[in-house]
Structure 1
Amino acid sequence: MPKTVCVINGHPDPAKGHFVEALADAYAHGAGEGDHTVSRIDIARLPIEFLRNAAEFGRPPCEAIIAERAKIASADHVVLIYPLWMGSMPALCKAFLEQVGRDGFMMDTSDKANEMPVRKMAGKSVRLIVTMGMPGFAYRLIFGAHSVKAVKQGIFRLVGFKPVRHTILGMVEAAGAEGRAKMIARVQALGHWAR
C-alpha cells in the first residue's frame, strides 16, 4: 500500500557529499520506486535556533520550520538519518526536533483537567538511521545504543509514532566504497517498502 514518506537528512553541515545525504537520497529513491509519495527535509538548510526556556517551546516556530513540519504532518512514515556525534545526534538535529515540536505540534499538553497529553503523531511510523565510525555491534553491546533508545522512547514513542524502528550503520569510513554501496542498497530497499 503506497504511503506518504518524509525523509529527513539530519546532517548539520550544508556541504554536499556527506554519507548521510547519500543515504537520504537512497531512501527517497527507493520510496519513489515503491510508488510512495516522498517529501524531503534537509536540516542544514533551515534557520534553526536553540531553545532557551519553556516559554519559547510554547510559542510557534518561524515560518520556515512551520513549512517543513507540514511535511511531517502529512506523512504516514518519517525517516530521520543522522551521524552519531559524541555519543548522540548532532546538536542541530536535536534543535530541529525541538523546533518542530513547539506550540503543541507533536503533543498537546494544554488539557490540564485531563492531564493526559494528546499524542498527535499517532498513526505514523518512523525509522531512525544512524551512521557512526565505530562498529555497530560495539555501539549496541558496549554502549547499549543508549542515545538511539533515548530518541526512540523520549521523542518519537512519547508523541505517538508507532512502530519506531532503527538501523545502525557502523564503520562507515572504514567500510570503503564497496561497503558503503552495500549500506546504500540496504537503505534503498528499506525505502522501497517504506519501512
Structure 2
Amino acid sequence: MSRRILVLVGHPDPSPERLCRALASAYAEAAEMAGHEVRKIDLALLEFPLLRTMQEFEHGSIPDSLRGAAEAVLWAEHFVFVFPLWLGTVPAMPKAFLEQVMRPGTAFAYPAKGEAFTKSLLRGRSARLVVTMGMPAAVYRIWFLSHGIAGMRRGILNFVGIRPVRETLFGMVASASEAKRVSWLKQMQRLGERGI
C-alpha cells in the first residue's frame, strides 16, 4: 500500500556531505521506487523567524517561506525526521520549524468551553525519528533514556495525534567505517521501501 511520506532533513548545517542528508536521500529514493509519494524538505535551506510570544504562536500567520511546508504537513500520512543529536535532544532549527507549522487550528485545537482536553488534528499519521549521534546509541537509550527524543515524541508528535513514532538511532557516527555507513544507508532504503 503506497503512502504519502514527508521526509524532513533537520541538520542545521546545509553542507551536502552531512550523513543526515545521505540517510534522508536513501530513504526518500527507495520509497519513491517502491511507489510511495514522497516530498522532502531540507530545513537548512529555509529562512524563517523564531516564534517569540504566545500571541504570535496562537494568532500569527505562518511565514510565507513555510506555507508549502505547512501544506505538506497536512498532506503527509507518514513523517520521517532526520537530525543529529545536539546537547541530548533535537537541534533548535527543527524545533523552531515544528513550532511554526504545528500551530493551533492546524495540528491541534484548544478545548471548547466545557471540554477538558485539546483535540489532536493529525490523528491517523505515523512518524519515524532518525537520529545520528556521537555516543553509542545503546548508551543514549539505556543511560539517558532517550530523553530528548522522548520529549519530541510525547510533547510534540503524540500531542498532535501522530502515532506510532518509531526511532532509528545511529551512534558513533564520527568514527564509523565506510562499511558501517553503507549498512546504515541500506537500512534506510529498506525502511523507505516499506514506507515506515
TM-score by length of 1: 0.96
Superposition deviation, residue 39 in structure 1? 0.3
Structure 1 partner of 2:191 = 190
In structure 1, stretches of 5+ residues that fail to align are none
Offset from partner CA, 1:153-193 (integer Å, 9 cap, x none): 11101100111111111111111211111011101110110
Change beyond 3 A, Cα 1:119–1:103:
closer
CA distance in 2, matches of 1:112, 1:181: 54
CA distance in 1, matches of 2:113, 2:95: 27
Question: Amino acid of the residue matched to residue 61 of structure 1?
Answer: I
Superposition deviation, residue 143 in structure 1? 0.9
Offset from partner CA, 1:118-166 (integer Å, 9 cap, x none): 2111011111101001100011111111111111111101100111111
CA distance in 1, matches of 2:126, 2:89: 21
In structure 2, stretches of 5+ residues that fail to align are none
Superposition deviation, residue 48 in structure 1? 2.3
Structure 1 partner of 2:39 = 39
Structure 2 partner of 1:106 = 107
Superposition deviation, residue 103 in structure 1? 4.2
Percent of residue pairs bearing the same amino acid type = 37
Pairwise mapping of residues 138-177 of structure 1 onto structure 2 (< 5 A)? 138-177=139-178
TM-score by length of 2: 0.95
Offset from partner CA, 1:72-126 (integer Å, 9 cap, x none): 1111111001000111111111111111113431111162432432211101111
Secondary structure of the equivalent of 1:72?
Answer: helix
CA distance in 1, matches of 2:107, 2:34: 28
Q: Which moved more, 1:14-23 or 1:110-119?
A: 110-119
Structure 1 partner of 2:117 = 116
Question: Amino acid of the residue matched to residue 130 of structure 1?
Answer: V
Say if 1:109 and 1:115, in contact at 8 Å, map to a contact too. no
CA distance in 2, matches of 1:49, 1:94: 12
CA distance in 2, matches of 1:103, 1:136: 34
Q: RMSD in angstroms over aligned alpha carbons?
A: 1.2
| Structure 1 runs (4+) greater than 4 angstroms displaced | none
Pairwise mapping of residues 9-24 of structure 1 onto structure 2 (< 5 A)? 9-24=9-24
Superposition deviation, residue 49 in structure 1? 1.8
